[in-house]
Structure 1
Amino acid sequence: MSPTEFREQISQLTAQLAGRPLDAGLDAWLNAEHGVESDTYRQLKQACMTGVAEGWLCEREGGGIRYGRIFKPADDLHGFSVDVVDMQDIAGPHHAHPQGEIDLIMPLDDNAQFDGRPAGWLVYPPGSAHRPTVSSGRALVLYLLPQGSIEFTRH
């Protein structure tokens, strides 16, 4: 697995997301079509684990969180940016999603959760905000942001 191959995987997924509203319907669709039992989930989790191990994902660290934006928004990614974080029993910085956020939760410890959700997809609608929190272990979280739009807040 290379960053180029990873980008192709993400591009195939974002092609299916382009133009769709980021809402509960998309959350349900992603978990039904690309949930934890799917090839998509298994391949993305393996790619993320490989990328972290090889150092091309989560290459930065701050406040006990490893993170990094691997791809800026681009046409081949249908306008999404791609970030991956590696978190264990920690809350990250509070931020808002002006255009929404799509998260793929990939526990590395069986009971790990992200914002109270187990393995799978979590879609935040436009205008939402949160303090991203991994509890009960360690997890990787891949997140897709329309146009890379994120606003860190003081909470």
Structure 2
Amino acid sequence: MIEIPSKVEGKQFDLYKLEQKLKPIGYSIGGNWDYDHGAFDYKLDDEVGYQFLRVPFTAVDGQLDARNCTVEMGRPFLLSHKYQIGIDDHAEAGAFSGTLNQFQEPVDKDASFPEQYVDNGKRLVEELEVLLLTDSE
């Protein structure tokens, strides 16, 4: 994990409006959210596992699944997940086993981050600052 200090840290936004700005440029809300916190993810690569920029946020007013939720942005960071190769070769057929084998755990959730994507991540954070802070300042 590589943290990237940003001017968006500590800033508050309406979650719905934030989604309207970030989704069209490639961000999605990561699957690891709860009612009081979550993150926007931008996938950088997925050749061996995947690498992405994650921008965490915390609910400060309301819950993430409710209207008019205000969130506070955390520090963006780069994260790499490396998955097991060939795990599907051993998956069993059938509807029931498909529900169990549908998702695989990463071999290394905090794999080293490929150097060639660090500059891309920093550039994305700069673009994020321009997008989010020029309207609100």
TM-score (structure 1 length as normaliser): 0.28
User: In proportion to residue count, which structure has more strand?
Assistant: 1
Q: Give 1 or 2 for the bigger CA radius of gyration.
A: 2
